[in-house]
Amino acid sequence: MKIFLLLLLAMSTSASASVVPTDFAVSPDKTFFQPVEPLHAGDRLQVQSPFLHEDDLVALGRCLDPDCTKMDIVRVWTSHRRHQVRDYVNIQHDGNYIFFANNVPWSLPAVERHGCFGSAPLRKVCSGSKRMAITDAKDSPDAYRVRFSSDSWFWVRKIRSAT
């Protein structure tokens, strides 16, 4: 019985140790959220959305200047009509990163609208889309959750740290 309890304790400890706590913060203008500490090459993030509106794009960008007006888009997620996302991101470069969401308006011509979602796998964000505000943020031990103005939810957790 003691061996079984020790084995159960060891398994539950290793499972909970797989999540590395990291703090995120919403920007003062509520247009993006970011890790409080810079990410490092070798960090791994899990991103998830239980509901992502089909007109929304969520992007991860690496800041190229201190105020993040210039950035490289690292990854873009769309729901592709499934309304759910589950993915992983391996951070390749040290630096400051931000997450933000854009809504692709129905008023765009069909070719442009299709191009916005078609460009997502190519790591681009559609210029015809509009940045959405963050309306709610929740910090919990297992994930950082934000809700955007379209009612899409997006969750991020750090599952591996390079440091």
Average of per-residue pLDDT across 10-19: 44
Higher model confidence: residue 113 or residue 143?
A: 143
Look up the CATH number of domain 20-160. 2.60.120
Amino acid at 123: R
pTM of this structure? 0.80
Q: Where are the domains of the chain?
A: 20-160
The per-residue pLDDT for range 55-106, each reduced to its tens digit, is: 898 999 999 999 888 888 899 888 766 788 999 999 999 999 999 999 888 7
What is the spatial distance between Cα 154 and Cα 163, in angstroms, rounded to a whole number? 25
b/e code 77-92 from CB counts within 10 Å (16+ = b): bbbeeeeebeeebebe
Three-point CA angle 147, 78, 58, nearest 5°: 45
CB 77 within 8 A of CB 105: no
pLDDT of 13: 40
